[in-house]
């Protein structure tokens, strides 16, 4: 245990040192493109539509924040594993489950329903704590901070079916905007404001943040965060605690919340500037 604590302290100190360098502009790798408004054109082929679905799944849909092999807080969708076959294939069995009370009649409808009304059926063991698997912690992906359009949700379903190797039953959207150029690959870019950075890294999918309209409730509401931050972990200043919560979220778990829910690699996906802006905002605007 002592060693463990020492490792944590060491990594915090290390990250603080690194942070100190940020003013000198140490460059960072940014593996993901920022969320951009995807163009869905009338002339898209099914292959392009599926590829777009993959981009949304891994990007602006924020699906992989929870559906990933690391955290274990949401069932795997693309990979097969302890949750069974990929969702494209197992969706057909979900609607035959005796616990299923939703409206879906087909596998495609089940995936659609899961995205827009997650509590219609909650996979056993994944419900919000204390709800006996009746309330899903997943936010509706057609509303709030994710806000996917119908055509984008269709693209994600097509991608999930394709990656499961089953027949793609989703139809290409019709009546979409007149043929536009295929979406250009966006250059990875650092967010310009803290607000933008919260959206880019999915913080608002799980947290409600003072001053930002749309937010989630998977993690703590940030109202009063800067006031309570100094009393969370002995020896950490408010700023150090907020920093640690982002770069090594598993070092301390807020009471009443599930450990391992917040992605552990957010710190690596951010630019130093984004991390700076986020911490500054949380220190100054959360009361
Ligand atoms: C904040 C975390 C979170 C995010 C973000 C999220 N999900 Fe989920 N999702 C869950 C959890 C937890 C479950 C299991 C509980 C349930 O059945 O609702 C789930 C269940 C599902 C299921 C049903 C799985 C099954 O085995 O029956 C589908 C389909 C799904 N999510 C799709 C998506 C897609 C697509 C996105 C992105 C557009 C997404 N989710 C974003 C947490 C999340
Ligand atoms: C998939 C959901 C999820 C995402 C995305 C997420 N968080 Fe969290 N966060 C949580 C949960 C759950 C907790 C509480 C459990 C814990 O302490 O680990 C938490 C705790 C925190 C805390 C501590 C709050 C307190 O009251 O002490 C901070 C600060 C925080 N997150 C910041 C962020 C920031 C900044 C981002 C975006 C860069 C982010 N989180 C993204 C789920 C998430």
Nearest CA to ligand 2 atom 16: 253
Of 103, 215, 134, nearest to 126 by C-alpha is 134
Q: What is the pLDDT of residue 2?
A: 54
Of 62, 55, 44, 59, nearest to 171 by C-alpha is 44
What is the 160 CA–ligand 2 centroid distance (Å)?
Answer: 27
Q: What is the pLDDT of residue 10?
A: 52
- In CATH, the number for domain 46-164 is 1.10.760.10
59 in ligand 2 pocket by Cβ < 6 Å?
A: no
Q: What is the pLDDT of residue 228?
A: 96
Q: Which ligand is nearest to the CA of 127?
A: 1
Q: What are phi and psi of 149, to 5 degrees?
A: -80, 170
The pLDDT tens digits of the residues spanning 34-78 come to 455 567 776 789 999 999 999 999 998 999 999 988 878 899 999
The DSSP call for residue 237 is -
DSSP 3-state of 12: helix
Q: What are phi and psi of 43, to 5 degrees?
A: -100, 15
**Domain residues of the chain, as ranges?**
2-31+188-285, 46-164
191 in ligand 2 pocket by Cβ < 6 Å?
A: no
Integer Cα distance of 209 and 187 in angstroms = 27
Residue 210 · residue 223 · CB < 8 Å: yes
Integer Cα distance of 119 and 164 in angstroms = 23
Q: What is the pLDDT of residue 123?
A: 96
With a CB cutoff of 8 Å and minimum separation 6, the contacts of 253 are: 259
User: 49-61 as b/e, with b when 16 or more CB fall inside 10 Å?
Assistant: bbbbbbbbbebbb
Same fold, 2-31+188-285 and 46-164: yes
Low-confidence ranges of the chain (pLDDT < 70): 1-38, 42, 175-188
Q: Which atom of ligand 1 is nearest to the CA of 91?
A: 27
Q: Which atom of ligand 2 is nearest to the CA of 225?
A: 26
Q: What is the pLDDT of residue 144?
A: 86
Integer Cα distance of 14 and 247 in angstroms = 11
Integer Cα distance of 171 and 47 in angstroms = 12
What is the 2 CA–ligand 2 centroid distance (Å)?
Answer: 25
114 in ligand 1 pocket by Cβ < 6 Å?
A: yes
18 in ligand 1 pocket by Cβ < 6 Å?
A: no
What is the 207 CA–ligand 2 centroid distance (Å)?
Answer: 7
Q: What is the pLDDT of residue 177?
A: 43
Task: Decide if domain 2-31+188-285 falls under CATH 1.10.760.10.
Answer: yes
Nearest CA to ligand 2 atom 17: 253
């Amino acid at each position: 245990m002592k060693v463990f604590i020492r490792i944590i302290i060491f990594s915090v100190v290390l990250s603080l040192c690194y942070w100190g360098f940020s003013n000198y502009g140490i460059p960072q790798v940014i593996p993901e493109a920022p969320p951009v408004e995807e163009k869905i054109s009338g002339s898209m082929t099914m292959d392009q539509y599926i590829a777009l679905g993959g981009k949304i799944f891994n990007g602006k849909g924020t699906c992989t924040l929870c559906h990933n092999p690391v955290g274990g807080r949401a069932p795997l969708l693309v990979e097969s594993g302890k949750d069974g076959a990929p969702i494209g294939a197992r969706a057909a069995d979900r609607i035959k489950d005796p616990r299923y009370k939703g409206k879906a009649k087909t596998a495609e409808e089940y995936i659609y329903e899961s995205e827009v009304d997650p509590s219609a059926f909650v996979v056993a063991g994944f419900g919000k704590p204390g709800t006996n698997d009746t309330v899903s912690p997943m936010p509706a992906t057609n509303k709030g901070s994710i806000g996917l359009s119908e055509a984008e949700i269709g693209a994600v379903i097509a991608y999930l079916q394709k990656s499961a190797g089953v027949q793609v039953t989703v139809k290409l959207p019709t009546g979409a905007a007149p043929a536009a150029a295929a979406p250009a690959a966006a250059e990875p870019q650092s967010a310009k404001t803290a607000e933008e950075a919260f959206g880019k890294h999915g913080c608002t999918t799980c947290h409600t943040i003072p001053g930002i309209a749309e937010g989630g409730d998977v993690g703590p509401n940030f109202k009063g965060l800067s006031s309570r931050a100094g009393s969370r972990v002995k020896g950490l200043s408010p700023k150090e605690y907020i920093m640690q919560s982002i770069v090594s979220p598993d070092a301390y778990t807020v009471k009443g919340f599930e450990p391992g829910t917040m992605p552990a690699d957010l710190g690596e996906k951010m630019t130093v500037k984004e991390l700076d802006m986020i911490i500054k905002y949380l220190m100054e605007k959360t009361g």
